[in-house]
Amino acid sequence: MSDCIFCKIANGEIPSQMAYEDDRIAVFHDLEPQAPVHVLMVPKKHIASLDAAEAEDSALLGHILTTVKKVAAELGLENGYRLVCNCGQDGLQTVQHLHFHLLGKRQMSWPPG
Ligand code: 5GP
Ligand code: ZN
């Protein structure tokens, strides 16, 4: 999508602090980190939200999830981490391109706000 900020970051049009990249996904540091380590894992394909993902996206979503541990290890999250996907209005999704927040390097609490 031409006016999507995360599409532009993923294809390099807008510079970002990239933590990991391959042919299908990009991982970059959040502009407003909520933890000492806070990166966003996004598919290069524009998918508006988890709710908009289709069966044909299963391999792509699986690839993101199985890449988490590699990114976490590279970022030094040996004590654990949290993966968050905000979806839709109630989920407080503010950018309409599917992304998973990977947060770490601090003790998390529960329940989330
Ligand atoms: P959401 O609220 O949709 O789950 O998360 C969107 C995230 O994207 C927020 O944590 C916000 O700080 C981050 N964000 C928004 N715009 C930009 C940007 O232009 N660059 C980066 N690196 N992060 C952004
Ligand atoms: Zn997009």
Mean pLDDT calculated for residue range 2-23: 96
Work out the pLDDT band at 26, boundaries 50, 70, 90.
Answer: very high
Give catalytic status of residue 97 as yes or no. Answer: no
Quick check: 94 pLDDT over 80? Answer: yes
Quick check: 24 pLDDT over 90? Answer: yes
Share of the chain above pLDDT 70, in %: 99
With a threshold of 0.85, does the pTM exceed it?
yes
Query: Which pairs from 26-35 meet CB under 8 Å and 24+ separation?
Result: 27/67, 27/71, 27/102, 30/101, 34/101, 34/103, 35/103, 35/104, 35/105, 35/106, 35/108
Dist. CA 31–CA 13, nearest whole Å:
16
Quick check: 54 pLDDT over 90? Answer: yes
Dist. CA 21–CA 43, nearest whole Å:
10
CA of 32, closest atom in ligand 1: 12
Quick check: 52 pLDDT over 80? Answer: yes
Q: Which of 7, 11, 21, 40 to mutate to test the pocket of ligand 1 (most atoms within 8 A of CB)?
A: 40
Give residue 2's pLDDT: 79
Quick check: 67 pLDDT over 80? Answer: yes
